Structure 1
Amino acid sequence: MTVWGAAAVDEAVAGGAGVVHVGTRDVVTPLARERARELGVEIVVGSPAPPSAAARGARPAAPAQVRPLPDPAAVSARLGSAPRPVRPPSGALYRRGAPTGRSSRRSSAPPGRGAPGGRVGRVVVVGAGNVGMIAAMRLADADAFDEVVLVDIDEGRAAGIALDLTHTAALSGFTTRVRGVGTVEEAGRADYVVLTAGRPRTPGMSRSDLIATNAEIVGDVASRLARTSPDAVLVVVTNPLDEMTQHAWVSSGFPAQRVVGMAGVLDTARFQALASLAGAGPAEVVGAWALGSHGEEMVVPLSQATADGRPILERVGPADLDATVDRTRGSGAEVVGLLRSGSAFMAPGTSAARMVLAMVADRGEVMPAAVLADGSYGIRDVYVGLPARLGRGGVQGIVELDLRPAELAALREAAERIRERLGALAATPT
């Protein structure tokens, strides 16, 4: 087996080749695939040339049977323009060469400096708990913003974390200013807001158990943000995620494209990591989508799941895959149980930052997110996890995957369960 990196693609172009032939057991890194797309190089499987020759840069002989690497999903975008190719997202959230907005001395074309949208003024993270702290750290380290502001009712905690994070500027190489304040009004007008404020889960508590308590917090913050930052894009992280995202949309009065929930990116990353443990290969080569709700009605359509561009079932058996999906659904509770106090924060905080950075980059990246359904998949007028194309102004459109009937039915069922919980929330006295 040979691992093919971006250098192999560059060598092929330098040698005048428009095709890179790889063996059926070879691994092609995500960065190599991105490089191939940039240069218009085709990657095909089935070369009879020995891996050692390919690794030395020699052009392989014509294969006996050559077929293109399969596209993981047949998609169509509801954007009013020709659809762009869509891949399941990679787990390499901050891999070398990915659009993370690193400073100019570490990357020649970061999203914050030279990307289509350019550097952004201010991102506000509401909630200086563990999730907010990690999100702020990732956003500051990306160096795509003039300022990151942490907001918390415990102003001392927000200010302390901000100062501690500021002390890492020389270590991480960022120039972004970091502040901590007690109110969203003190934070100032924001371009993006990450809303993490709310009560976390404790062992034995479901996400739905938080709905009444956190609805009061989210509603208050969203309405105040609407007055302070009327043009901001709001990324909701507070649980129960789907319901709180819709509640924030209603409370803020923002257009739906500027209110989006972070769930699918986190759940997809969890599936990728767990599939890797089950034998699918490195997490970054696993492609998948986690859709539906951020909870028991999560839908991971295995028809779309791949490992290094091949159907994942070629590497992981059906029983192990089903077990992986089940563990993905319960991963949040698993972490809560192990911690015994508090809930997951490393992956959620990183996922929220990843979504904001994708929007700042403004490259139309497609990511699974909680968005207001527009009739796609036969679902309308409820926030549910769907593949969404993200840009500088938020959600640009919903992308439809070619799901199997059972997967589509499960997705619609998830939307109905969310709708029922929203009805219960509306009936709850305030």
Structure 2
Amino acid sequence: METNYINFSKVGIIGCGFVGSSSAFSLMQSGMFTEMVLIDADKARAEGEALDISHGLPFAKPMKIYAGDYSDLKDASLIIITAGANQKPGETRLDLVKKNIAIFKSIIPEIKKIDYKGILLIVANPVDILTTVAIKLSGFPANRVFGSGTVLDTARLKYNLGQHLDVDSRSVHAFIIGEHGDSEIAAWSCANVSGIKLNKFCEMRGFFKHEEAMKRIADEVKNSAYEIIKRKRATYYGIAMAVRRICEAIVRNEKSILPISSLMKGQYGISGIALSMPAIVGRNGVETHVPFEINEQEAADLQKSAKTLQEVLAQNEL
């Protein structure tokens, strides 16, 4: 990344719906940035969100928050794209494809016009498809365009396992990989609690029906968004906190390992589609995927997940 063009204290958010505004609020509270640009097709909405969040600044750290346009994003270190149609009750993330690809066809060319040198973080759903689309439409290096992927799903898995085992979820080490959606995979073969294999830790806590518990917890994670949408019509707090975590890894150059959605280049026989796999994330975006050992069944499920996404993308050629 050409750092002479980049202001690492500045962030842009495109889309001021539930997810965009919640992310803006979360990032304001983080103190990571001193400038935030909000963009929405409805400029009055962006202005309203900027004003509302700004009124809380006396309780936080100094920051400039305003509604802007694409020219204001030129020197931002990060552009977070949350713009897109909302997932309705009974609708899958893949059902949103046509509507949201059309929206991206209007957004990405505007970003290209300003000769943007920073990182594009895709949050809109279906995130894996839209990350792939953003890479193709922008022509930017793939390390600079990636999605929030299964960072939130992984947090849900850790939370559920923590609840199940009555242990701090931060001590749980496990990943959801593949699609952020119905074909996602809980990589149980690598899961552990502070280095202790998961099954052994479960037995230590009095749980012995491993297969039954694994299926129940994986299903709970996969269906969490549907359950939340059914009750309150949208999910936004969890993903806003996931966005904040990814931004921390980038801005602070943490080299954190996160399951973001990035372009696969032959790993596990998968190419040409963005999928979530653990990767090192820092100031230059995606540094590298990490050598993540999964069992044969998980690898087969990952390839199946990729095939599902590739088929959907093929039906929606750019």
TM-score, normalising length from structure 2?
Answer: 0.91
Alignment match, 2:67 = 180
SS across alignment from 2:76: coil
The whole-number CA distance in structure 2 between the counterparts of 1:331 and 1:155 is 32
Per-residue Cα deviation, 1:142-199 (whole angstroms, up to 9, x for no partner): 2222311111112122112112212222212x12211123x32355542211100001
Alignment match, 1:404 = 295
1:31-42 aligned at under 5 Å gives the runs: none
The whole-number CA distance in structure 2 between the counterparts of 1:404 and 1:185 is 47
The whole-number CA distance in structure 2 between the counterparts of 1:233 and 1:187 is 11
RMSD: 1.8
Q: Does 1:278 align with 2:169?
A: no
The whole-number CA distance in structure 2 between the counterparts of 1:144 and 1:381 is 33
The whole-number CA distance in structure 2 between the counterparts of 1:417 and 1:301 is 18
The whole-number CA distance in structure 2 between the counterparts of 1:320 and 1:229 is 50
Alignment match, 2:41 = 153
Gaps of 5+ in 1: 1-117
SS across alignment from 1:230: coil
Q: Does the 8 Å CA contact 1:189/1:228 hold for their aligned counterparts?
A: no
1:26-425 aligned at under 5 Å gives the runs: 120-172=8-60, 174-181=61-68, 183-313=69-199, 314-315=201-202, 316=207, 317-318=209-210, 319-339=212-232, 341=233, 343-425=234-316
Letter in 1 for 2:64: R
Higher CA-based Rg: 1
Residue 404 of structure 1 and its aligned partner are, at CA, apart by: 1.0
Q: Does the 8 Å CA contact 1:242/1:383 hold for their aligned counterparts?
A: yes
Q: Does the 8 Å CA contact 1:266/1:351 hold for their aligned counterparts?
A: yes
Distance 1:119 1:151, change over 3 A: closer
Letter in 2 for 1:396: E
Distance 1:405 1:212, change over 3 A: same
Gaps of 5+ in 2: 1-5
Distance 1:151 1:260, change over 3 A: same
SS across alignment from 1:205: coil
Letter in 2 for 1:171: F
The percentage of counterpart residues that share the same residue type is: 28
Q: Which has the higher helix share?
A: 2
Per-residue Cα deviation, 1:87-129 (whole angstroms, up to 9, x for no partner): xxxxxxxxxxxxxxxxxxxxxxxxxxxxxxx971421011111
The whole-number CA distance in structure 2 between the counterparts of 1:401 and 1:176 is 39
Letter in 2 for 1:266: L
Q: Does the 8 Å CA contact 1:280/1:312 hold for their aligned counterparts?
A: no
The whole-number CA distance in structure 1 between the counterparts of 2:73 and 2:50 is 12
The whole-number CA distance in structure 2 between the counterparts of 1:229 and 1:323 is 47
